[in-house]
Structure 1
Amino acid sequence: MLENVTFYNDPLLVQALRPLSYYRSLDQLWLGTSTIQDKWKSYSVCPPASTQLVILGSLLPNANIVQALQELKPNTVLVQDRQVLAFTLDIGEEHSHLGSIKNTMEYSGTAQWIKHPEDLLNHQSAALFHEIQPAPFDIEKYQALGNIILAPSFCYIHPSAQLTGCMLDASQGPIYIGEEVKLQMGTIIQGPAAFLKGSSTNLGAKIRPNTTIGPGCKVGGEINHSIFFPFSNKAHEGYIGSSVIGSFVNMGALTSNSNVKNDLKPVSIFDYHLATQRNTGLKALGLIMGDFVTTGIHSKFNTGSVVGCHINISSQAFLPKFIPSFTWGEYPQVQTYQMEKAKQVASQWIGLKQQAIPENLAQVMEEIWKEEASFRT
């Protein structure tokens, strides 16, 4: 429950979280079984009636931080390590300048917020274990349809979900099968993992631990420790691992990525804020992909690749580790994806997923076009 609560986008974090932050605010990033904002809704956060509480959009809730916010005095900023976590304003002064607030409180507890795209993957396992609430279900019904379910007491299966000839192994972590999910024959899922509302698999899909398949997604092949934002497709064979995939993505057959370097050294990725490569310190990191991306068959992405938005790309060789937004063609003979064509294709994918075209679609596309002009050259 959130009363008199709003979320704000720290400009530096928005830049650092590109390309995932182009089409969504920080609180709309997906992790575990929901967006960050939805996670806050499971807590009771009720500032005084005369006070507006403004929370950093990428801040992850926990009982201690919620208690600190409840006790935050009016016109006070809560900070940790120079990062503003939240602040309070008098109702009616929501648009006051943050710098005008005089009172500052240093939070001494453990605060966690998403600073870079790969942080979503770092918190993924804990989020799935915390958020998936197993519930009893009619296991005989699913066994009669040829399903094998190991450790069923650690599973949640919505009554409307359809499973035929699948294997679910929740012995190492819980499994969530949501409303109207359809799992085709031969699907194998190792927990912890979540299939959210309306998602589906193709024949023989292999879903390994720490994976979230977002609402309306269709997946196949092998997926490991990855987060698929809503309405994306990877319907065919190929491997996606240690990756975050945006919305309205369509991966051609056998699209795959590497997620570990041959020399086992830490992975570096392109950082939009720094405009250069950044060492993540992680040994496993695959692909960070924005929204409205289409890949051709046999597309191959190297370890630590970053792909922007509104891209149609293919190649028989490994693709570059950074592909700017509005790139079109078969690498290395790529061109600039023309705005009107990109807008038409984006609208078609939105329609295919039976979603309403956002009124600000053209505006956001223009902003992306301008922001990445230097990258395209």
Structure 2
Amino acid sequence: MKYTFEKNKLYDYLGKHVVNAFKRHEVYVAGGAITSLFSNRKVNDIDVYFRHEASLIEFVEEAWEGSDWVNILTNKSIMVRMGRDKNVQLIHFKYFPEAKDIFDTFDFTSCMGAFDFKTEEFVLHKHFLKDNAQRMLRFNKDTAFPIVSLLRVHKYTEKGYTISKPEFIRIALKCMDLQIKSVDELKEQLGGMYGINYDKLIQFEEGEEFSLDNVIDKIADLSLHEDYFKKPEEVKFECVEDIIKEISKEPVQITYINERDYRLTRKGTLKFISDIPKKYTEFDGKTYIENKRFYKFVKYNKDGNYSSHYDSNFIYKIGEFAIPKNDYLYFNEQKEINESNYRYQGALIEVIIPYEHFDHKDDAKVHAKKCFVVREVPREEYMSWID
């Protein structure tokens, strides 16, 4: 079943800007938003899940460089404001090759619905529709955060859902099975995804012995804490690399070229970084440059040669080297030709940049001191490179 009405309603709520971003990165929207769509309730929360870490990092980079911005970061999620008024929560504690894999971390079958922006189809748990129709909570014992599930029971009962005593006992027993033995383990279970950041409020003094009895005593006075009613504060990041360092769990591939460090992005391009991440592996920058081709949009001249859009007197000839009049020639990597200042204007030439003449790269712009012009790329070919 296609659920066309619900799909159109979701797209209308998100807006074209957000929908296009979700499609580009092949994300999933899952949980409360999907429940609201099928229950005819107002959509409030947009929780976004990713297939792999590289996709999330690319999404964050794009948001950072565009009109969107990151304003809250926890150990489980990132809050990004997209456009004027859409707050979306990017989940990063785990990644999911398929939409149904997300359900293994969810607590109740009534929220086990997802929309896959790669296939543009809904994926629903077999009990999803029935349990929402009956307003019944059915607990998933494999959920990642059962303590949070207890808190969410209250939220769901306010919406008219009911939970049987056996189901409630199942949640309690799962909480008992956690065997929390440290402050960090407690914070992992309490923090960062649903409402109040309890992990920020339950603090232990230096040298204070950790015990659940001690935690229970602290919780007794939790509502008296001055931050209890405060929403998570927005934070300001100086650069996107600060965010990536916090969320990255997999080693980042980096290289060093001409006294600059670069990270290899998911789409296979170089990205300048100011700081080395905690986890990384190195690859050979010289081999990377020597095996790459670079691209530039230029004017096609009647004599069969090509000239710069910026300076019509500067000529590129196929089969010959080009040397800049001043400091640099400027090019893009294949996956970034759509970021050229003159994208799709005139012809696209392909060049080789000898390693010793590759100077540096800023954003999507490669700075070279010399290049060899290989060919003109047919329009049909280069249009196929663009996502």
TM-score of the superposed pair, with normalisation by structure 1: 0.24
Q: Higher helix fraction: Structure 1 or Structure 2? A: 2
TM-score of the superposed pair, with normalisation by structure 2: 0.24
Q: Higher strand fraction: Structure 1 or Structure 2? A: 1
